[in-house]
């Protein structure tokens, strides 16, 4: 663990927000989540090193999908493909934190795309290569040293919050994008009602894998400072499963594991998601879900 300043603005002034734990996988450790007094960025401080974090990415981490466990997950991936294709039809695409390559594989099938992935964790990078034959660099984006002005699209699906250096990652994204290229960033919103309601039990904090969390004004401002033009910021996903999951974590913490396990079952249940779909749809379209998609462009702007 090492003490850090704010990665966005360099400030050393930050306020304690919560003590947080790995509620999702139940791995040991307690972490301090702080909020920068100057720019509002949330981050773990002190921050675990990459060596320390390795054990928090076991092979059974549920983001390492080997196949679609549910129709809803497939629907989520196809929505990502659709939104990218709305802005760019074909070209060279890089997915950062590509996990097992399910999104890249769908993109390749959906059009004339030359695709690449970056995934620093060995196990999902191997699955992506062996199962789908994808070009995946088992490195961080910075380590991969990709060519300048090379990609039409760079995507960060639920990935930027995992990095220890999001500002440098965004600078590197800008460098490797072609002029007029697009970046898509999906990330949880720590100012969402779910985060405020559940506090340290909110599923989106996901300690210690989420090293940073980005309030919408903070990330929007940072993208602008780095030269991007932000073209769209909106709720993109969200089906209340995280709310049920967070409720389950809270109930567990109160010693109410029996009711808590019911909340966890609801969080996983496809039937439940179908039943509450109209509510989730309404929340998404009124900007009330926890997951935000930023779409930004490197100039010159089309």
> What is the contact surface with Zn ion in residues (CB under 5 A)?
6, 8-9, 11, 36, 38-39, 41
Q: Which residues contact residue 263 at a Cβ distance below 8 angstroms, ignoring those fewer than 6 apart?
A: 244, 245, 247, 248, 251
Q: Using the minimum distance from each CB to Zn ion, give the nearer residue, 41 or 160.
A: 41
Q: Using the minimum distance from each CB to Zn ion, give the nearer residue, 38 or 253.
A: 38
CA–CA gap between residue 120 and residue 262 (Å, rounded): 35
Residue 224: CB minimum distance to Zn ion, A: 15
Residue 156 φ/ψ, nearest 5 degrees: -130, 85
Can you spell out the DSSP letters for 96-110? ET-TTSHHHHHHHHH
Residue 10: CB minimum distance to Zn ion, A: 7
| H helix or E strand, kind and range, residue 180 | strand 177-188
Residue linked to tokens 């050393």: 12
Residue 27: CB minimum distance to Zn ion, A: 28
Sheet with 91-96, edge to edge strand ranges: 136-137, 113-118, 91-96, 151-157, 177-188, 291-297, 229-237
Residue 11: CB minimum distance to Zn ion, A: 5
H helices within 56-165, ranges in order?
A: 71-87, 102-110, 122-132, 141-144
Q: Using the minimum distance from each CB to Zn ion, give the nearer residue, 97 or 215.
A: 215
- CB of 141 closer than 8 Å to CB of 96: yes
Residue 235: CB minimum distance to Zn ion, A: 24
Residue 171: CB minimum distance to Zn ion, A: 16
**Structure tokens belonging to residue 3:** 């003490």
Ramachandran category for residue 96: left, alpha or beta (phi over 0 → left; psi -120 to 50 → alpha): beta
Q: Using the minimum distance from each CB to Zn ion, give the nearer residue, 37 or 52.
A: 37
Residue 99: CB minimum distance to Zn ion, A: 29
Q: Using the minimum distance from each CB to Zn ion, give the nearer residue, 152 or 189.
A: 189
Q: Which residues contact residue 217 at a Cβ distance below 8 angstroms, ignoring those fewer than 6 apart?
A: 40
Using alpha carbons, list the distances in angstroms from residue 71 to 75, 103, 133, 270: 6, 14, 24, 8
Residue 67: CB minimum distance to Zn ion, A: 40
Q: Using the minimum distance from each CB to Zn ion, give the nearer residue, 45 or 297.
A: 45
The 10 Å Cβ neighbour count of residue 97 is: 23
Q: Using the minimum distance from each CB to Zn ion, give the nearer residue, 41 or 159.
A: 41
**Structure tokens belonging to residue 96:** 């950062």
Q: Using the minimum distance from each CB to Zn ion, give the nearer residue, 33 or 276.
A: 33
């Amino acid at each position: 663990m090492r003490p850090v300043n704010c990665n966005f603005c360099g400030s050393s002034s930050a306020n304690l927000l919560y003590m947080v734990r790995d509620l999702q996988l139940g791995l040991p450790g307690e972490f301090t989540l702080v909020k920068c007094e100057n720019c509002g960025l949330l981050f773990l401080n002190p921050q675990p090193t990459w060596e320390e974090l390795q054990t928090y990415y076991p092979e059974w981490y549920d983001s390492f999908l080997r196949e679609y466990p549910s129709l809803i997950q497939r629907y989520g991936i196809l929505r990502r493909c659709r939104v990218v294709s709305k802005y760019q039809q074909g070209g060279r695409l890089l997915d950062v934190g590509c996990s097992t390559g399910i999104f890249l594989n769908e993109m390749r099938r959906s059009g004339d795309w030359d695709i690449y992935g970056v995934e620093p964790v060995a196990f999902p990078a191997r699955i992506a290569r062996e199962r789908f034959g994808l070009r995946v660099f088992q490195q961080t984006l910075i380590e991969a040293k990709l060519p300048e002005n090379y990609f039409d699209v760079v995507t960060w699906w639920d990935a930027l919050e995992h990095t220890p250096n999001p500002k440098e990652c965004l600078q590197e994204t800008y460098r490797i994008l072609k002029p007029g290229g697009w970046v898509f960033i999906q990330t949880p919103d720590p100012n969402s009602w779910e985060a405020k309601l559940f506090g340290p039990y909110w599923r989106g904090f996901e300690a210690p894998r989420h090293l940073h969390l980005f309030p919408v004004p903070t990330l929007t401002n940072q993208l602008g400072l780095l030269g991007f033009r932000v073209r769209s910021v909106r709720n993109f996903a969200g089906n209340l499963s995280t709310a049920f999951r967070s409720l389950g974590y809270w109930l567990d913490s109160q010693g109410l594991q029996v009711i808590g396990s019911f909340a966890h079952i609801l969080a996983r249940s496809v039937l439940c998601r179908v039943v509450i779909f109209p509510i989730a749809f309404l929340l998404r379209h009124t900007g009330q879900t926890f997951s935000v998609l930023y779409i930004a462009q490197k100039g010159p702007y089309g």
